[in-house]
């Protein structure tokens, strides 16, 4: 499971400019740009909003509005490992709420927050494509099916061992 790697402010700026250049002149590029930035950096830095807006000839409010509309996007640096618990219907029916409650307690971190040590961010997601094997979670880009509370603890211990 690959973790989020922290970049220096200069690397962050360079990454954003490369992504903007790559999409220059492309129609409807806002969402692809936002996805690319978050895929590379793990988040969309607040101070990149004005660069994105001017590259696309949009207002900062328009860019900010799109970022905040989608739950997927975040504007703060996440923890090294992003833990997502599926809360869509099939997983709900197989105990996703209880699993989220367990995760919050185990990590000492409420959903949509990052642990104090910066190692884990805990998020909800809506379908990981494993509905027949719910409840499902992902840690970084790796998905896990039929996750019990003890499976969860083991996966967290494994991720912690990689930090
Ligand atoms: S509903 Fe959870 S994986 Fe589809």
Query: Cβ(131) to ligand 1 under 6 A?
Result: yes
Domain boundary among 24, 48, 69: 69
Asked if residue 43 is part of any domain, the answer here is yes
Query: 53 and 97 share a domain?
Result: no
Look at the chain and report how many structural domains it folds into. 2
86 Ramachandran zone, left/alpha/beta (phi>0; psi -120 to 50): beta
CATH number at residue 149: 3.40.30.10
Residue 76 lies in a domain: no
DSSP 48-114: GHHHHHHHHT--HHHHHHHHHHSTT--SS---SEEEEEE-SHHHHHTTHHHHHHHHHHHHT--TTEE
Digit-coded pLDDT (tens) for 71-97: 889 999 999 999 999 999 999 999 999
Domain that holds residue 42: 9-69
In a domain, 27, yes or no: yes
Q: Structure pTM?
A: 0.81
57 in the same domain as 19: yes
CA of 130 from ligand 1 middle (Å) equals: 5
> How does pLDDT run across 92-114, given as a tens digit for each residue?
999 999 999 999 999 999 999 99
Q: How far is the CA of 93 from the centre of ligand 1 (A)?
A: 10
Q: Per the domain annotation, does 87 fall within a domain?
A: yes
19 lines ligand 1 (CB under 6 A): no
Residues 62 and 96 in one domain: no
Taking the centre of ligand 1 as the mean of its atom positions, its distance from the CA of residue 143, in whole angstroms, is 11
Which of 41, 69, 97 terminates a domain? The answer is: 69
Ligand 1 centroid to Cα of residue 153, in Å, is 20
Same domain? For 64 and 91 the reply is no
The enclosing H or E element of 123 equals strand 120-125
Asked if residue 66 has its Cβ within 6 Å of ligand 1, the reply is no
Domain end (from 43, 69, 95): 69
Q: Please write the tens of the pLDDT for every residue from 25-43.
A: 999 999 999 999 999 999 9
Atom of ligand 1 nearest to the CA of 87: 2
Question: Quick check: bond before 135 cis, omega within 30?
Answer: yes
């Amino acid at each position: 499971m690959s973790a989020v790697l922290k970049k220096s402010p200069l690397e962050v700026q360079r990454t954003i400019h490369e992504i903007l250049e790559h999409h220059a002149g492309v129609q409807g590029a806002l969402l692809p740009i936002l996805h690319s930035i978050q895929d590379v950096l793990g988040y969309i830095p607040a101070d990149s909003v004005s660069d994105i807006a001017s590259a696309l000839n949009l207002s900062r409010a328009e860019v900010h509005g799109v970022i905040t509309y989608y739950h997927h996007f975040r504007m703060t640096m996440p923890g090294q490992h992003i833990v997502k618990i599926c809360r869509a219907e099939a997983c709900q029916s197989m105990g996703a709420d209880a699993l989220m409650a367990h995760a919050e307690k185990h990590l000492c971190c409420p959903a949509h927050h990052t642990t104090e040590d910066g190692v884990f961010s805990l998020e909800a997601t809506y379908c990981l494509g494993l509905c027949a094997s719910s409840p499902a979670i992902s840690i970084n880009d790796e998905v896990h099916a039929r996750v019990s509370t003890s499976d969860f603890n083991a996966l967290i211990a494994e991720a912690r061992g990689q930090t």
